[in-house]
Amino acid sequence: MKRWQFWLGMLISAVFLYFALRGLELDKVWISVKNARYWWLIPGVAVYFIGVWVRSWRWHYMLRPLKNIPTRTMFPIVTIGYMGNNVFVARAGEVLRAVILKEREGVPISASLATVIVERIFDGVVMLAFVFLNLGELAKLTADSGVIGNIQQAALWGSILFIGALVVFLLAAMFPHITEKIVNWGIDKFLPQRLREKVRPVALRFLTGLESLRSPQEALMIFFTSFLIWLLETAKYWFVMHAFDFQVSFFALMLMNGIVNLATTLPAAPGYVGTFDAPGIALLTAYGVPGEVAAAYTLVLHAALWFPITLLGAYYYLRQPLRWGSKEVSQIQQESAVKP
């Protein structure tokens, strides 16, 4: 509560919630929420968890150079990571699952964090692909679309960021010896002597986490899997839509998925409050969906994305929580004290 990141996230969420709900008749939003056909959430949640299983397989695939861990072992850890992202600020769940993987499977935190970062880069590239696939249609919508009015410019800068990061990681993976020399040079050049020997092994272990990108075939497999993951999540958007009295195309929901998930990369309150809702409502309103219906759908969708995975992650965590105070966790804390 005392950290500035928490209060910054709360402020950003409050601003986005203001834009999401201003001008809406909240009693009509509540009527739409009450009258929703909630049984449509059942297939939506089911297809979403298929996507989580595919995500677990992707992480298993990326970790193979370090350790071949079965997908069924990865699945609980991935759900715990989702829980952490949903209840802590700054996507702390990503660090949490790396720590749990260290404790349960002995994979170095810095190496597994490298695979997590690569995952997020591929996810960002897919989200941008969803946006670019619909740029022609988006151009017709942005005139009165509120907070997404500048989405084309945001997509351009996002492309530079994510694709640039992907190129850097691909080059680092394909030329490991050169990369290692550059990393050692940077450490010796810019870090004080007292930090060099702490940072060096962490940085080098981080590089080992990039080994899944060594060949174009491996990178293409990760990209294909990422695309499948987000198509399955869009399918959940489609199922939940049928609980409400409106219809938009699957491509429109792909666009919504891309925009809201890019928006959730911003700092926000736990659970992406506001940063998920405002762009989703704005986009659906731009498609001609009444604002109150768009708000009800987006809020129910957000809850359906939040509650099931958070509860399952909490269940898996409580079955085998971190052994705080143990020798193993003491070693984990020492290793994670110096972040790459």
Q: What pLDDT, on a 0 to 100 scale, did the predictor assign at position 147?
A: 46
**Structure tokens, 330:** 């003491």
Question: Which DSSP symbol is given to 3?
Answer: S
For residues 228 and 91, give the distance between their C-alpha atoms in angstroms, rounded to a whole number: 22
- Asked whether the beta carbons of 165 and 121 are under 8 A apart, the reply is yes
Q: What pLDDT, on a 0 to 100 scale, did the predictor assign at position 50?
A: 98
User: Mind giving me the DSSP string for 85-153?
Assistant: HHHSSTTHHHHHHHHHHHHHH---HHHHHHHHHHHHHHHHHHHHHHHHTTHHHHHHHGGG-GGGTTHHH
For residues 126 and 232, give the distance between their C-alpha atoms in angstroms, rounded to a whole number: 13
Q: What pLDDT, on a 0 to 100 scale, did the predictor assign at position 324?
A: 56
Residue 206 burial (10 A CB sphere; 0-12, 13-18, 19+): buried
Residues of the chain with pLDDT under 50: 1, 146-148, 328-329, 332, 335-340
Q: What pLDDT, on a 0 to 100 scale, did the predictor assign at position 4?
A: 76
Place of tokens 């988006």: 138
Q: What pLDDT, on a 0 to 100 scale, did the predictor assign at position 265?
A: 85
Question: Which DSSP symbol is given to 271?
Answer: T
